[in-house]
Structure 1
C-alpha cells in the first residue's frame, strides 16, 4: 500500500528514500548561473550519489545524501545562495514560473514580487504551490499549481484556482495581492485538510469567482536557450558537469518537462532521451515502489503510440495527468490501463515484465 506523505522534501526537511536522503533545491525563477550549476553538481557527487532529479515543479533534487553529509550539504547550499537560511521562508518558496520568462515581463514581475512577499503568506500545506504562467498562451497546464496566473485569449491576466475551469480578471499591478488573499482564504476556509486546491470543495469567495477562461494552449514560446532533454528527468552529475565545463553556456534553466534549457551555447550536441515517457525512480530507490520502472519503460517506449507512464506505485509521482498507456506497480507486478492515471482500474492486472512486453509485441 502506498503511503501518501502530503509533503515534499525541501533542503531543510529532506525525505528518506531507498537510496538515501532526498534534498530539494528550488532555484529562484528556475535559473542558475553556470558556476552555481557546476557547484551543485560537485555537491551532488561529494555528498550524494551523483544523481540529481528535475521534478515536475522544475526543482532540483539531490539524491543519496547521508545523514552526516546533509549537514555539510545544507551549509554549502546556503553559502551559494541556493537555499534560504530561514527554513520557514525556504518552505514557502513554492512558485513555478513559466520557463520562457524574460527579465521584466509579466511572469518575471509577478513571480519575483511574490518571492519578495513570502512573509505575507499563511502556513500552507507542503504540496501547495503557485504557477505563474503569464506568457502569450498557457504552457504549465499539466504542471502542478494550486493558484494559477494565466492569460486570456484577449490578452488579459486572470487568477484561476486549480480544479476550476474559469477564473477572475486581475487588476494590473495587484496580481500578488490577489494571490496572497486567495491563499489566506484557502487556509481560513479549511483547505489545509484537503491539502490541494483542486480537492477543496468550499465555494470560492465572491471576489475570486469569474467566468474568464485561459487562452487555449498553443505553440510554445521561443525558449531562451537550447533544450537539453533528460531521460526521466535525471541529471548524471559527473557527465553534466563535464559537458558544462566544455561548453560556453552561461546559465541553466529548469523546466517541469524533464528537460533543461542551456543558455549561451547554441552548438551543443543534444542527447537523445525518451521525452514522451514518464517513469518514477521505482524500486529499490523508492520504498513506496514495489516494482522497477525505468528499464521496463525504456524497452517498452518504442512500441507505445502516445504517452507512456510507468509508476512504481499508485501515487503516480512522475506524472499526475493521464497517459495513453499507464503501468502501475502493485505487489511486485504491473497493472495495465489505457488513457488513465496511475492507480486506475486496470484493463489487465498483475502482469510480470515478460507479459507486459509480450502484450505490446516488445518481447
Structure 2
C-alpha cells in the first residue's frame, strides 16, 4: 500500500496536526479526568476556535477538530487557564500516561500516576508515540490499550513493571514503581530503542534487573455502557462527540481508551449522540476518513455504520493503510486505496487483500449486510 505519509509523532496541544478540516489539537487531561468547569470551558473553546467536533482517542485523550491557525494561540491560552495544557511544551509532550479509569483518590493507580507526572523531567527524550500505562487496580483493565512501559497488577497480587511486548516483568511497589519505570525508559534510549520507535519493536535483551518472570493477573472485562459505581458510562460511536452535547454535562467526566466516557455522580440518562447500552456500532473501528483527513481517499464512517449490525467479530474501516483507528488486526478490514476499498481478513489496515477495488455497495454485498 502507498499514498499516505507516516508522521512519526502524535499531535498534542503544542504540536497540532493539519487535517482536512483544520488543525487537530490534542488535549491530555490529568488522569484522563475533566472537572465540571473544565468540561464547560473545553466545550466552549472547541466551539469558539474549532468546528465543535471532539474525538476521544485510544489513549483516552481528546482531540479538538477544525481549529484555525489564527485561533490556535488563543485556544492554547484558554486551555492552559483551564489546567488542561502544560505551559512547558516538553513536559506536555511527555505526559502520555494512560490510567485505569476506575482509579480512586489515594489508590495505587492514582498515587503512581501522580508521582510519574511530578517526575516527567527525569525521563529521557523518547519517541513521540511512546506512552506509559498505570493499571494498578485489583486486576488489569488496560491489557490491550497502547503503552510501552506498564505498571500493572501481577498474578501474585503484587505490582509489576513490564516492558510492552514482553510476557512478564519484575515486582515493584507503589513506592519504587516510578523509579523503576524511569530507569527502564533510560535503558530503552541507551540501548537504541529510539531507532525501533516503540518498546514492542525493540528487540534488545532487557537488563537483568528488569527481566523478571512475574506475569500479569488475568484481565477484567472493560467497561460497558450503562450504570457504573462512579456514575454512568456513555458509548461514543467512533469516539466522536459534539461539544454542544458534551457541554450538557455539569459534572466531572473520565475518559477511557474504548470510546466510552464516565460521567461522575449521575444516573444514566439519554444524551444526544451517546449510547447507554451496548451496540454493534461500538464494536466497529473507523477513522475520520475523507474529506476530514487529507490522506484518506474514501469516506469511512457511513459505510462502517451500515455494516456494523451484520458483522460477526471486529470490523475496521480505514481511510488509508495507516490504520489510525486500530493498530491491531481485525476480523475484517476495509482499507481505502485510490477511491475504493481493499478487503482483508484477520489483518491490519493495508494488509494483502482478498478483494481489491471495491465500491461501498460491493463491500456491503460481500460482507452480507442488508
TM-score, normalised with respect to structure 2: 0.94
| Aligned-partner Cα distance in 2 for 1:223–1:202 | 43
Alignment match of 1:346 (pick from 343, 353, 356): 353
Which residue of 2 is the match for residue 228 of structure 1? 234
Indicate whether 1:294 and 2:301 are aligned.
Answer: yes
Which residue of 2 is the match for residue 5 of structure 1? 7
Instruction: Between 324-333 and 6-15, report the one with greater CA deviation.
Output: 324-333
| Aligned-partner Cα distance in 1 for 2:18–2:231 | 34
Deviations 1:172-229 (A, max 9, x none): 4100000000001111111111111111111111111011111122234765221111
Question: Secondary structure at 1:57's aligned position in 2?
Answer: coil
Change (3 A) 1:117 1:111: same
Indicate whether 1:356 and 2:367 are aligned.
Answer: no
| Aligned-partner Cα distance in 2 for 1:130–1:77 | 23
Give the conservation status (yes or no) of the 8 Å contact 1:148–1:161.
yes
| Gapped regions of structure 1 (runs ≥ 5) | none
Which residue of 2 is the match for residue 253 of structure 1? 254
Give the conservation status (yes or no) of the 8 Å contact 1:323–1:339.
yes
Which residue of 2 is the match for residue 190 of structure 1? 192
| Aligned-partner Cα distance in 2 for 1:28–1:158 | 23
Which residue of 2 is the match for residue 96 of structure 1? 98
Give the conservation status (yes or no) of the 8 Å contact 2:286–2:316.
yes
Alignment of 1:206-285 (within 5 A): 206-220=208-222, 224-241=230-247, 243-244=248-249, 249-269=250-270, 271-272=274-275, 274-285=281-292
| Aligned-partner Cα distance in 2 for 1:161–1:51 | 35
Deviations 1:115-158 (A, max 9, x none): 00011011111100001111122111221100011111221111
Give the conservation status (yes or no) of the 8 Å contact 2:158–2:173.
no
Instruction: Between 100-109 and 272-281, report the one with greater CA deviation.
Output: 272-281
Give the conservation status (yes or no) of the 8 Å contact 1:162–1:197.
yes
Instruction: Between 140-149 and 262-271, report the one with greater CA deviation.
Output: 262-271
Deviation of 1:160 after TM superposition, in Å, equals 0.8
Alignment of 1:319-330 (within 5 A): 319-330=326-337
Alignment match of 1:82 (pick from 69, 81, 84): 84
Instruction: Between 30-39 and 340-349, report the one with greater CA deviation.
Output: 340-349
| Root mean square deviation, CA, Å | 1.4
Deviation of 1:79 after TM superposition, in Å, equals 1.1
| Aligned-partner Cα distance in 1 for 2:205–2:130 | 18
| Gapped regions of structure 2 (runs ≥ 5) | none
Give the conservation status (yes or no) of the 8 Å contact 2:167–2:215.
yes
Question: Secondary structure at 1:289's aligned position in 2?
Answer: coil
Q: How many residues align?
A: 358
Question: Secondary structure at 2:102's aligned position in 1?
Answer: coil
| Aligned-partner Cα distance in 1 for 2:158–2:330 | 31
Which residue of 1 is the match for residue 62 of structure 2? 60
| Aligned-partner Cα distance in 2 for 1:267–1:206 | 49
